[in-house]
Chain A
Amino acid sequence: MESSSSTERVRFRTQVLARHLHQHVPSQSQSQSLHPSTCLSYSPPELSEPFDFDTRDMRKLMDGHNLEDRDWLFGLMVQSNLFCPKERGGKVFVTPDYNQTMEQQREMTMKRIGYLSDRGVFQGWLTKTGPEAELRKFAFLEVMGIFDHSLSVKLGVHFFLWGGAIQFFGTKRHHEKWLRDTETYLIKGCFAMTELGHGSNVRGIETVTTYDSNTEEFVINTPCESAQKYWIGGAANHATHTIVFSQLNMNGNSQGVHAFIAQIRDTDGNICPNIRVADCGHKIGLNGVDNGRIWFDNVRVPRENLLNSVADVSPDGQYLSAIKNPDQRFAAFLAPLTSGRVTIAVSSIYTSKIGLAIAMRYALSRRAFSLVPNGPEVLLLDYPSHQRRLLPLLAKTYAMSFAANYLKMLYVRRTPETNKTIHIVSSAFKASLTWHNMRTLQECREACGGQGLKTENHVGHLKSEFDVQSTFEGDNNVLMQQVSKALLAEFVSAKKKNKPFAGLGLEHMNKACPIVPSQLTSSTLRSVHFQTDIFCLRERDLLHRFAAEVSQHQVQGESKEYAFIVSYQLAEDLGKAFSDKAILQTFIEAEETLSAGPLKNILGLLRTTYALITMEEDAAFLRYGFLSRENAAAVRKEVGKLCSELRPHALALVSSFGIPDAFLSPIAFNWVAANSWSSVQD
């Protein structure tokens, strides 16, 4: 004991001295050898990474709105033991206990919602309207999604799907009856649209509803196993009511898909007669959400429970609708449901921010390998290869953050005229942003090495929590095909009517085709003008090619639909081109609002990195000759240079994300202390 404590003291003293010496060593002379200390000690990156711009200003730009509301909500969560605060390495972190059973996690999600509801977080979520109220709601949903995806999904189902369906598909009588009780959680809603046999293709669902004019009731039925409602969030444990999507069959005539309100549980939580409910079981993520399956056996609901904004049934059984064509009726019906895609796109980008903030902070405090024998080890982020892995993803995340903000604004300021644009842009961004998120998380996980595998460090675990985003509210691939289809329709109609392009950002097609210089210098590559030109050129050219290929198939006698599905390769390239260009555009617009200064400079650097990495990664630039081989090489070289220019700002850039430390993870901070023996003893 005695001797071990004295060696302990000697070691301590040596470390103190080493630290004193260390401060006098200029940081650039890394090769200068220091005596390796007996134990690695954590040094907060803040001490060696000065900030060149005000991270508060950058955060304002990133979060865009309701900053104080966000901080209040973060604070509410940090204050409550329901959010499982845990002390690690001298800091408190909040994170759900994913080691709980599925049932426990579901109960915790519900308890957290109760706590937040008691404190007024959901006030006005359904009873207030207008952009201000909607933005506040979005901000809160984003903040809760940063804590736990299950929490935000559970809320999303209740407020955006169940509540949204009543708001948008229902009329006054529904609003008065349901919205207030939904907002206060007197009732818990779910949304039964997808079935075992039908997901993206809602029009094909098999649930059938008929009308009984004697009792003035609708009768809902699940005619076969593939018609069981599947993946219904909230159905397995908590929901008392559901929206049922069903074919409406009036006197043998199918009128297409309609939505009804049905009660599935009583106030004590017992399942109602003629309803059968089963669990979807344990999932790879989102186990705090009780996804279930529902069967309807001649379930009778009052006539008033038809959500009748588009079509109604009179007491005597007359089908009434202003829109005669069932296809159009269906489109009009689903149009308002884009909010789901908007919130998914936005939340995916916040998740990338969590991953990057953690991986970047770790890379700024973890060292590996020395350049000279016995020399100090090199910080991970000082390796150009590590920069190349993380910094382009950071630039993309910035770009997509602006895109997400743009989409949000487009949505909250929607008018009937902008519905089509919102549909297309939200489809494209939802796909691009959620794909980007999965890629970013994987890279961040690997960049954290073994530490990335620990659930408490988030990055690895977030992959399984957010994987679902590429599927729900529209499969990403299907959405991208819809984007290309819509662009093609615009193209065909402009050509047919011989009118200039208007809308969807296609106006550049009215101008002369841009010309890319044959020799790309560094300054050309960094100019907004060039970047815009080449992104427009790519979209324009691919749209022409796609239109040509589809029409060629049609000339050969194939149907339009068939022509479209066989041209999937170009459709994919075109969808990407549209999305990338739209994202770049939002970045440029955000930049334009700033006056010259350090903030604008760093954003310029990020925008160029975004543009060039996109050019480097998408083979279409080379395949269709938008870039020559030499130019492609120049782009690649420039990306490397940009990474080294971004490196000094890495910490400031992730610090601007506005995610409080408590919502990151132990490896983002003092990971030595967080893993010390004494921390095991506690």
Chain B
Amino acid sequence: MIGKGRAFCAGGDVAAVVRDISGGRPFSFTVIVPCNWKLGAEYFWNEFTLNYLMATYSKTQVSILNGIVMGGGAGASIHGRFRVATENSVFAMPETALGLFPDVGASYYLSRLPGFFVSSSQVLEKADLSSFIPLQSFQEELTPIFQEKPRLCAQTPTNNNIRLLLTSTQVLLQNDPKTPQNPHLIFQHQHCPFQHVNRHKICNYLHIGDGRYVQTMRELDFIGEYVGLTGARLDGAEMLACGLATHFVPSERLTSLEEALHKVDSGDSMVVSAIIEEFSLLPTLKEKSAYHRLDIIDRCFSRRTIEEILSALESEAEKSKDDWLSLTIQALKKASPTSLKISLRSIREGRLQGVGQCLVREYRMVCCVMRGKVSKDFFEGCRALLLDKDKNPKWEPSRLDLITDSMVDSYFSKVDDDNWRDLKLPARSNLPVHAIAKL
């Protein structure tokens, strides 16, 4: 799957949906009355069903994300098997600024973004380290490498910058013949931990010498909350680092990649993966990347409520002056308060649910948004950003503290309308495992 022009897909035509709902009346002149919200509901019903089919599709889908990937565009690609990013990729879920929330199954994939790869291989276990934390035990071995790469991270290795390093280096584990129980870590730069697809699932493997590999584990993070709530834009390198993309291929190689894919004419995910791998390289993260702030993201965006997230960010900002922090706080303050609350809850619930359950919940939510009973922010957001373009939406309720729990609750309940029903997803029985879990 490949986009036409400079975008992969910038999302659904939100303005058209809003036009449908408001009965075709132009916005600028009238108070919006969502009289036809069911037309919009039908649109989302179809879109979410498509998302589900893609998420559970057993055939290999390759999406080449050479441009903008937002909202609906993300829904059409991230659920698929391979997502190829390029230097032109721009990913964002900007819905909270629009009075909506990250939909198209985003509560599923955003809540599962692996921050980085951490080796949790058996080799490490043999060194008698507990199942996690092993990295800290390698601090001594790691220190020289950190000094070698001061650009990448601070001088002393912490758990977090070790992870960063791992995304850009290949770990070589060599058995010292004298102490076979105590493998030494040797690093090689400029190599990518690459993906290997076996019959049932994608594993990330690292080379440990002599053609042997160890499986790596994903460490999860709260970057999904960050991306989903602030609408932050990620570039190709960041998409790869957080797992939204599976590969990074420079755009100049795309034509050859496409040709190669056409030539093999195989749907076998292992074959496809091997081909993309040939064209892939590991991009370097920009210095300003949010990825260098995983610690702060983790500390702040793991908080229980929007209010607590904001106050955690603000107290970080007090400690150190940082443009990234103020931009992040600004983004949260500009977004619809209602959207923030329901988005956070949606991602939190999504973290514990399957992709089908996520879409059913998001469908309930989107219907509530379009009915506009609790808040009409979606229409206001569309007016201010897409139609009038004054970029000055007047949110209602205007403040976080004016939104009660029961208001938030209502977005997650069945819609109180006789003709309304929950999203009914097509039965997909006997799915192979890899068709359900792709992220």
Contacts and interface: CB of A to CB of B under 8 A. Distances in A.
Interface of A: 15, 19, 22-23, 41-44, 47, 54, 56, 68-69, 71-72, 74-76, 78-82, 84-85, 87, 89-92, 97, 100, 104, 107-108, 111, 118-120, 660-662, 670, 673, 676, 678-679, 681-682
- 7 closest A-B pairs by CB: A90-B433, A660-B352, A81-B132, A75-B351, A79-B220, A673-B433, A90-B437
Contact of B429 (A23, A74, A108): A23
B436 interface: yes
Contacts of B405: 68
Contact of B427 (A42, A47, A56, A90): A47
Given A78-B352, A87-B201, A678-B199, 6 more contacts: A43-B430, A76-B302, A87-B437, A660-B353, A661-B353, A678-B200
Contacts of A79: 220-222, 302, 351
Nearest to B350: A75
A66 B280 CA distance: 47
B430 A19 contact: yes
Contacts, number: 101
A71 B349 contact: yes
A120 B87 CA distance: 38
B416 to A, nearest CB: 12
Contacts of B432: 673
B118 interface: yes
A682 B429 contact: no
B412 A107 contact: no
The majority secondary structure among interface residues of chain A is helix
B6 interface: no
Contacts of B38: none
Nearest to B312: A120
Given A90-B437, A107-B130, A676-B200, A682 B215 contact: yes
5 contacts: A15-B430, A87-B437, A660-B353, A673-B200, A682-B198
Contacts of A41: 430
Q: Per DSSP, are chain B's interface residues mostly helix, strand or loop, or mixed?
A: loop
Contact of A108 (B130, B199, B353, B412): B130
Contacts of B413: 54, 56
B120 A670 contact: no
B233 interface: no
Nearest to B222: A79
B412 A56 contact: yes
Contacts of B299: 118-119
B302 to A, nearest CB: 5
B350 to A, nearest CB: 9
Nearest to A121: B304
Contact of A80 (B220, B345, B352): B220
Given A670-B433, A682-B203, A72 B130 contact: no
A522 to B, nearest CB: 33
A591 to B, nearest CB: 21
Contacts of B118: 81
Nearest to B428: A47
Given A78-B351, A82-B132, A72 B304 contact: yes
Given A75-B111, A100-B130, A120-B304, A81 B429 contact: no
A80 B111 CA distance: 13
Contacts of A660: 352-353
B133 A111 contact: yes
Contacts of A119: 299, 302-303
Contacts of A661: 352-354
Contacts of B345: 68, 71
A91 B437 contact: yes
Nearest to A91: B437
B153 interface: no
Given A54-B414, A119-B303, A104 B130 contact: yes
Contacts of A673: 200, 432-433
B199 A120 contact: no
A416 to B, nearest CB: 32
Question: Which of A72, A74, A111 is the most central at the interface, judged by chain B CB atoms within 10 Å of its CB?
Answer: A72
